[in-house]
Amino acid sequence: MSKDRYWRAISIDSISPDHFPSVALYLKSSGNYVLYKAPERMFTVEDQRRLERNFTEFLYVRSGDMELLNEFMESNLTEMLAREELSSMAKGRLLYQTAVNCVIDMFESPEESANLQRCCNIVQHMLQYAASDPHPLASLHTITNHNFYIFSHTVQVTALCLLVHERIYDLAPDELLDMGLGSLVHDYGMTFITNEVLDKNDALTDIEYYKVKQHTQKGYEYLKHSGKYGEVALNIVRYHHERYDGNGYPTGIKGDEIPRSGQVSALCDVYCALIMDRAYRKAISHAEAIRLMGEQTQKGAFNPQLFKQFAEIVNEQKLA
């Protein structure tokens, strides 16, 4: 297991000189974590200015300190996102970093009401941010190199799903919230797959690929059994790997038999996967991702009209 799994990146925009929990902060240098601030020392304005002068975007905390830090960040998120001195990019980093931290806990205990409420609050903040900022996805890439793939991918897919639904469809607030929750847990079934398979650097065997394909149905069954999730959310979990021509999984349904939320999340999932580094391949550019998805659409993988609308939205954002 990589030692990076024991650390979490924290945007310096979320570290306030006025008040911050008593946790140790570390710098990352040449793959090593070096103590920057001991728990008993205050984080000062001079610390903030020094880090900014050195173009330091992130400090790190031990994963064991995250419960205290999450409570602080989530309880102060509304106030921090309202700070006029913070740029839109800084607010995005802060929001998405808080979302990643929340999703990690959600994946550990998705049936807990407290985690569900935390994610509801995060989705509400993401919706407000998407509605108020012309480029709400611009800061997403800043978090992806600082947290392991599955959680960063989940937040990226959620932000994009929210944006696409907000731009294309006139949905009631409750349905948007359910769609956001479903996006946050769309890959929950991956928790049933071993790290040996998830982190494999070369091609999967047929048996390994079969196991990976089970994540949609297993995630759906577990979350449905919990009784905490609505139909819209569960549809995203189950159907985000279905394809318009019927060549997807787990059910092989096709066309508009696939729920709208499943079709949108499929596009967002593929796009976000292409533009992020994976264990077995490097990320590709935004333009290349759209080109490849366009080819897949011509072959029947996605609804052509929906893909056209999707491409117009992400062309405005240019995530990579």
* 218-267 tens-digit pLDDT: 999 999 999 999 999 999 999 999 999 999 999 999 999 999 999 999 99
Return the structure tokens found at 202: 């070369």
Write phi, then psi, for 34 (nearest 5 degrees): -115, 130
Residue that has been written with the tokens 């140790």 in this structure: 24
Of the ranges 137-146, 299-308, 310-319, which is most confident?
A: 299-308
Nearest to 240 by CA among 299, 188, 175: 188
Residue 36 DSSP class: E
| Residues 6 or more apart in contact with residue 114 via CB below 8 angstroms | none
CATH class of this structure's domain 76-317: mainly alpha
| Residues 6 or more apart in contact with residue 256 via CB below 8 angstroms | 303
Instruction: Tell how strand 25-29 and strand 32-37 pair up.
Output: antiparallel
pLDDT at position 187:
95
For residue 91, the one-letter residue type is K
Query: Which one has a higher pLDDT value, 51 or 111?
Result: 51
Range 113-125 average pLDDT? 92
pLDDT at position 147:
52
Name beta bridge partners: 7: 62
pLDDT at position 309:
97
Answer whether residue 1 shows pLDDT above 50.
no
Range 48-69 average pLDDT? 89
102 burial type by CB count under 10 A (0-12 exposed, 13-18 middle, 19+ buried): buried
Answer whether residue 52 shows pLDDT above 60.
yes
CB-CB contact of 260 with 235 (8 Å):
no
Where is 180: in which H helix or E strand? Answer: helix 173-184
Answer whether residue 72 shows pLDDT above 70.
yes
Range 157-184 average pLDDT? 93
pLDDT at position 134:
83
User: Which 3 state secondary structure label does DSSP give 55?
Assistant: coil
Answer whether residue 320 shows pLDDT above 60.
no
| Residues 6 or more apart in contact with residue 54 via CB below 8 angstroms | none
Query: Which one has a higher pLDDT value, 9 or 211?
Result: 211
pLDDT at position 313:
94
Q: What's the chain's length in residues? A: 320
Give dist(CA 123, CA 184) in Å, integer: 9
Query: The whole model's pTM is what?
Result: 0.87
Give dist(CA 289, CA 295) in Å, integer: 10
Domain boundaries in the chain? 1-64, 76-317
Choose the weakest-confidence range: 60-74, 192-206, 240-254: 192-206
pLDDT at position 296:
98
